[in-house]
Structures are given as structure tokens and as C-alpha cells.
Chain A
Amino acid sequence: MWELIGIWLAALLTLCIFSFLYRDNPFYRFAEHLFVGVSVGYGIVLTVHQGLIPFAWNPLRDAFTQQQWIGLVKIIPICIGALFFARLFPAHGWLIRYPIAILIGVGSGLAIPNVMRADIFEQVLGTLTPFAQIHAGELDPFQIFGAILMLLGVISTLTYFFFSVEHRGVVGGVSKIGIVFLMIGFGSAFGNTVMGRVSLLIQRVDFLLADWLHLI
């Protein structure tokens, strides 16, 4: 019985959302607001149960009930985190700078070396390694063409984004090649996006035709 109610509710909400394809209407707005409200509520409850309780509440509770005094250390991050709410009190609003400063400092410290390695050094290595393989005679002609094409794409695309020199002459020509590579990249992204969006439609149509209407 509950499953049937759930299917009907899901089907009607799906139709409410699809009604936007005709034009904006109260049914669409109802379903949209319901979705936002449920998502936020669900996220908050889950974060409290999976984050706040195990990492903040339980250690403090254990400190006082089971004399696991190490749990009292958690008071420091809890107090720093609580400073985010200083924004609610205009006279003490400046206190929010401390948790933000800590978050940015720790976040940057963790991210910068790892991002530099993962997104810059490894990518440069990945672009140049095939040329060492060409030198060692490990690549076939098709792979050699791919390696050269990739290098040409990287250099020309980076040239397009190099604005310290006017894009005329050789620089202009190379940056135009970069535009071609960018367009191919955007085309690929668009094609994949179409595939993704159509997949969502297929899943909803499958739900409506199979689970709701039992037509397939």
C-alpha cells in the first residue's frame, strides 16, 4: 500500500516538474519548493546524525559519563566552529573572521601542494612522457600522431589564454588553432551533456511507463 502511494506521489511530482516545459505554473513551483525543502531538511538531519553527534556530542558525553577526558579536546574545535554564529550578533560579528581564517589557511595548506602535483605536474608529465616513448621507439605511428596532436592542442590553447602579448602574427595564428581545439572540447562536452540529460528523461519515462502505468 505504502509503495503504491509512493509511486503515485513520485509520478504526480514528476508530471508537475515536466509541466514547466509548457510554461511556468503553480504545480511546477510547488514541486520545486517541495524538492528544495526536503533536500535541505534531509541534508541537515543527516549532517547532524553523521557529523555533529559522532564527532562533537559523543566525545563530550563520553568525557563526562565514562571519564574519557581526551574527549574534552573537542571543546576547542567546537568553540571555533560556534564562532560562525557570531554573525547573528552584529556587535560580535567580527569574531567570524577566526573560523574563516582557519578554514582558508588549513584548506589552502592541504590543497595547494596536492593540486599542484595532481593538476599541473602530473598533466605536464602526461603531455611530455609520450615523447620519451617515441624516442625509445615504443609508440606506433598512430600513437605518435596522437602525442603530437595533444602537444599542439596544449600549446595552442595555452597561447589563446596568454593575454600579455597581442594576438597578431604567429601568436594570433597559434591562438586561432587553440580556438579550434577549444571548440572541439566544447562540442564533446555538449554531446556528453545531451547524453546525460536524455538519460535522465529515459529514466523518468521508464518509471512512468513501467512502475506507474505498467505499460512496459
Chain B
Amino acid sequence: MIEKLMNIDRRIVFILVGLAVIIPSLLSVSFPITVSQPTRSTYDYIESLPTGSTLMIGFNYGPSSLAELHPMAEAVIHHCFQQKVRVIGMTLLPDGATLGDDMLRKVADETGAIYGEDYVYLGFRPGATQVLLGMGTAIDSVFEADYAKTPLAEIPMMADITNYEQIDLVLDLASGSSTEWWIVYTNTRYNQQIAAGVTGVIVSQMYPYLQTKQLIGLMPGLLGAAEYEKLIGRPAKGTEGMSIQSFAHLLVVGLVILGNIAFFIQRRQAE
């Protein structure tokens, strides 16, 4: 029995995980969500910004991380447009170019935000370090035109935005090292306030920056999206996903405990 348990076919585990996700999806179950302080700090900072402030969002993720970061982007952009905070979107990764454009357009359609007045999308520029440093001097030295190739000089919203001095907060939505680039080249050099929303895989690396206040807030993966949706009172994909996620987590915890019990029994038998 123990022997069989220790040598269980991994495909059985895959099936169990699949069922733990599919069944709750079909039943539309929901669990309560508690908001953590790092997510609340991001929300509070944006909430405290006066009308007409500017938030820059870095869509630094690709389709492979869309599941965690797109709901987060949607919730934050909704909040910004509600607060009349202007949004500048950009990306340091080619994969993120269309994702950022789609998300801004989607939320703008839902909220009635106007392109060029409430938000601008700059798109992608290669050379991450040079882009971050260049925007500290002049944004139009790096992005002379927006994603649709309209010169920044012709966009009303950009008339009073030259560099980081006019940007109240940078929110980096990241699946890789981009948050560290923003901290090293933008926070350290230009004293720019930065918050981050990152995938679960890299969130552990970000907590030291939160403790030193190099990040003013941090949203961890799909959980961060669900928490932010709760704060703005608009449950969406993040909230749905976290309820389903709880079942998968219970299964993984159960399997880890079972595996450990079997391991120790087997070791005792061998002794």
C-alpha cells in the first residue's frame, strides 16, 4: 500500500488537480477574501491621489502570465479611472505590447475614459535600462510617439508630462525582473514611487523591497487581483479564480501531507 502510494503515477496527480479546478469552476463556488496590507497600501496610495494625478503602468508580462496579471491590471485601471487619475501605459517586453493596449481599451470602453485625455498607451521600446533612464530625462526622448504612432506633442494629456517628476506612481505588473529594474534605475536614481503587482513565482523576491519601502505596495499574483477587486467593490476574474484556487491548494496540501506520512512510514519500516 505504502509502496504504491510512494510510486503513484504522476498522471493521477494531474487528473486530481484538473478535477480540483474543473468541478469548482462548474459549481461557481466562492470563498471570502481577506485583504493583505501590501495590497491595501497600493490601493490607499492611489485612493489618496488628487484628481488629475498620473499613474504609469508597466505591462511587463506576456500571455504566459496573463492569468495572474491581467485581472490585476483591470482592477487598478478601473480604480484609476474612477478616481480621475490619468494612466500612462507602456511595456519593456515585446510580448506585453498588445496586452497593455487591449486592457486599456477594454476598461476605457467600460468606464467612458477618453484616449489622450484620461489615458495614453506608449507601447514597447527595446533596451529596458535605457528606456527607464531615458524617461527620467524626457519621456519623448524614448517614446517620441504613442503605440498608434501619434506624436506625443499632439496628445493633450502629455502636454504637462515631461518625465518622472510629473508621475505620481509607477505600477509595474511583472512576470520577470522588471520590478528590480524599476527599483534600481528609477526609484534609486530618480526617487520615483513604485508599486508592483507580480506573479506568484517571483513575489517572494519582492518582499525585501517592500520592507525597505523601495516599493510602496505589492500585489501577489491572482490573490493580489482578488484583493484589489474586493477593495474597489468590483468582483471579477481574480475573485472567481481565488475561490477555485482554494480547492487546488487544499489538494496540494493534502498530497504533501500524504506523501510525507508515506515517506516516514517507509523509512521506519526500512529501519
Contacts and interface: CB of A to CB of B under 8 A. Distances in A.
Interface of A: 21-22, 39, 42-43, 46-47, 50-51, 54, 107, 110-111, 114-115, 117-119, 122-123, 125-126, 150, 185, 188-189, 192-206, 209, 215-216
Contacts of A194: 200, 248-249, 252
A110 B128 CA distance: 12
B211 interface: yes
Contacts of A196: 68, 199-201, 221-222
B184 A209 contact: no
Contacts of A185: 204
B188 to A, nearest CB: 4
Please classify how large the interface on chain B is, using the bins under 10, 10 to 19, 20 to 34, 35 or more: 35 or more
Contacts of B28: 216
A164 B241 CA distance: 48
Interface of B: 11, 14, 17-18, 21-22, 25-26, 28, 64-68, 94-95, 97, 123-127, 129, 133, 144-145, 180, 183-185, 187-189, 199-201, 203-204, 208, 211-214, 220-223, 237, 240-241, 244-245, 248-249, 252
16 contacts: A46-B94, A114-B185, A118-B183, A123-B208, A123-B212, A189-B201, A189-B204, A192-B204, A194-B248, A194-B249, A195-B222, A196-B222, A200-B64, A201-B248, A202-B21, A206-B241
Contacts of A118: 180, 183-184, 187-188, 214
A191 to B, nearest CB: 8
Contacts of A21: 11, 14
